[in-house]
Amino acid sequence: MGEAAVDPRRRVPRTDVLLADPAVAAAVATLGRARVKAAVARAQQRVRHGEITPDEVRDAVLSDLPAPGPRAVLNATGVVLHTNLGRAPLSPAAVDALVAAAGCTDVELDLGTGRRARRGRDTLAALAAAVPDAAAVHVVNNGAAALVLAATALAAGREIVVSRGELVEIGDGFRLPDLLASTGARLREVGTTNRTTRDDYARAVGPDTGFVLKVHPSNFVVTGFTSAVGVGDLATLGVPVVADIGSGLLTADPLLPAEPDAAGTLRAGAHLVTASGDKLLGGPQAGLLLGDADLVDRLRRHPLARALRVDKLTLAALAATLHGPTTPTRAALHADPAVLRDRCERLRDALGAEGHKAEVVPSVAVVGGGGAPGVELDSWALSLPERYAVALRQGDPPVLGRVVRGRLLLDLRCVPADADDTVRDVVLRVAD
Ligand SMILES: *Cc1c(COP(=O)(O)O)cnc(C)c1O
């Protein structure tokens, strides 16, 4: 750095000046003064040691602070349920409900009588009302927890009969067979990868059978020389049938004809259905259990149920999702391509007016997140040079698109319509 007239180490920014910086002050509000002051002291020390210049102190303070946790991002990937982006975004009603539930609530109290009440009774009532075919319902932490509870309570030390074609990996290395075996149940695999018949099941079922498990292959399709046994046929085997439908569709959606729904699966004869709350249902992470009253009761009373129970925030958000208006997930699934095209063109024109060239191109969106594999949704995207991808991903808020053949596509199907201006602003900021 040479012999400057004033040694930069002497110009260490003062603590009160740094704490008055808006970004640093915001950090004080969320992290507390002591922690931020310690970071300020460390950064000042680094200036004195000549490791950074006085101009770099503010950024050094900010980068020394702990990350604030998950950040809100805009999903322009065209993947409706993106696992890495937290699957289903909650509806405004669900967000309001969980904010209201964040304080003290009557989650286990009857305000009428002043007595203890069944935890989450309103949520359970809403779920039961949404699926009248279920005699009883229960909610746990997620879909995997629902399966673990069923396996533990109904088949620990006994056998779960399951087709080899349905021993799936959910994602991120989690495999259903391992999950089930961890409960102490033994897996009795029947059939082959591509074909399993009712006879295969019938030969395996016996006094040691806890239940027959039917798993919806929610993230892949097998085509060609295949056969599988439907829930209706399995229900004639004389043992309980547990169906893991995966996505949490409560009733059939004509847009997704191959996706099983809870009501239809129960009507077909399943004794217990398990599903996720944050896939096609469009709610918070949760595991739904619906079915025969005696089976659900056994699950509910099992000691493990206490370890898998959901918190009041989940109960609140799930109730609001079940009661509420169309979820963002459903809105994205059923978005009209003509409207999406219109939004893309308006964004293109707004960017064009600022001298930035973008194109409007057809796109193909998917359900993602372990639901409706193979279903393609016609969509529209704004096409930008690929170099925008990293800057937008690191924008404020981050905007996630997908790179296709050297272009960055921002598919608007999963972007809320009221966020188009935000997309425009972020693109303009990173383009300059
Ligand atoms: C997603 C999925 C699960 C796991 O549910 P989580 O809510 O992610 O725990 C289990 N089975 C099937 C078929 C699924 O699609």
> CA nearest 387: which of 430, 420, 345?
430
> Quick one: fold of 74-82+331-431?
Aspartate Aminotransferase, domain 1 (3.90.1150)
Output the pLDDT for position 80.
Answer: 97
Task: Please identify, by atom number, the ligand 1 atom nearest to the C-alpha of residue 218.
Answer: 15
Query: What residues in the chain have per-residue pLDDT under 50?
Result: 1-4
Q: Which CATH code fits 91-326?
A: 3.40.640.10
**CB atoms < 10 A from the CB of 201, how many?**
25
Sign of CA dihedral 223, 227, 229, 233: positive
Relative to the CA of 174, which ligand 1 atom is closest? 4
**308 close to ligand 1 (CB < 6 Angstrom):** no
pLDDT tens digits, residue range 59-82? 999 999 988 789 999 999 999 999
Distance, in Å, from the CA atom of 44 to the CA atom of 8, rounded to the nearest integer, reads 11
Asked if 9 and 48 count as a contact pair (C-beta separation under 8 A), the reply is yes
Q: How many CA atoms are closer than 13 Å to the CA of 19, on its beta-carbon side?
A: 16
Find the 261 Cα to ligand 1 centroid distance in Å: 14
How high is the pLDDT of residue 60? Answer: 95
Residue 26 CA to ligand 1 centre (angstroms): 38
Q: Is the CB of 143 under 6 A from ligand 1?
A: yes
Digit-coded pLDDT (tens) for 135-175 = 999 999 999 999 999 999 999 999 999 999 999 888 777 89
CA of 174 to the centre of ligand 1 (A): 10
User: Residues 105, 323: contact at Cβ < 8 Å?
Assistant: no
Ligand 1 atom 12: the closest Cα is on which residue? Answer: 246
Strands 209-215 and 241-246, by their bridges, are parallel
State the pLDDT at residue 208: 97
Residue 355 burial by Cβ neighbours in a 10 Å radius (0-12, 13-18, 19+): exposed
CA-nearest residue, atom 8 of ligand 1: 143
pLDDT for position 68: 75
The single-letter code of the amino acid at 248 is G
Rounded Cα distance between 267 and 259, Å, is 15
- The verdict on the CB of residue 370 being under 6 Å from ligand 1 is yes
> Does ligand 1 have an atom closer than 6 angstroms to the CB of 142?
yes
Please work out whether the CB of residue 246 comes within 6 Å of at least one atom of ligand 1. yes
Distance 147 CA to ligand 1 centre (A): 9
Contacts of 26 by beta carbon, 8 Å cutoff, 6+ apart: none
- What are the residue boundaries of the structural domains of the chain, listed by start? 8-64, 74-82+331-431, 91-326
